[in-house]
Amino acid sequence: MDILKAIDTQKIISWRRYLHTYPEVSFKEFKTTEYLVQQLANYPEIEIIRPAATGLVAVLKGGKPGKTIGLRADIDALPIAEEASVPFTSKNSGVMHACGHDATRPCC
């Protein structure tokens, strides 16, 4: 299965909105980690490694020999009150994903 064809844009947007609705601060991302594991488990090509209770490593091996690419993503939120008025506003009082690097448009 081509993983890029298996995950459509709307699914990715729904993941992002869920994560922004239920943010967790550093070292307390238990529900966030479980959510990511549940979503990634739908793709058998992805190996999920759990080195810690809060966080994961997802390995997608290509079918060809060659170089390896590594990507890193933070899943922690900041202890800041959400002021945005969007359908996916934080439901965790005083905590939000406020880093600003995860979207180019406020609609997503």
Task: Provide the domain limits for residue 94.
Answer: 1-103
- Alpha carbon distance 68, 92 (integer Å): 37
104: pLDDT strictly greater than 50: no
Average pLDDT over the chain reads: 87
108 domain-assigned = no
Query: 3-23, pLDDT tens digit by residue?
Result: 777 788 898 889 999 999 999
Residue 22 near residue 82 (C-beta atoms within 8 A): no
How many structural domains is the chain composed of? Answer: 1
Give pTM, 2 decimals: 0.84
Q: What is the CATH number of the domain that holds 18?
A: 3.40.630.10
34 domain-assigned = yes
50 domain-assigned = yes
Query: 65-89, pLDDT tens digit by residue?
Result: 888 888 888 999 999 999 888 899 9
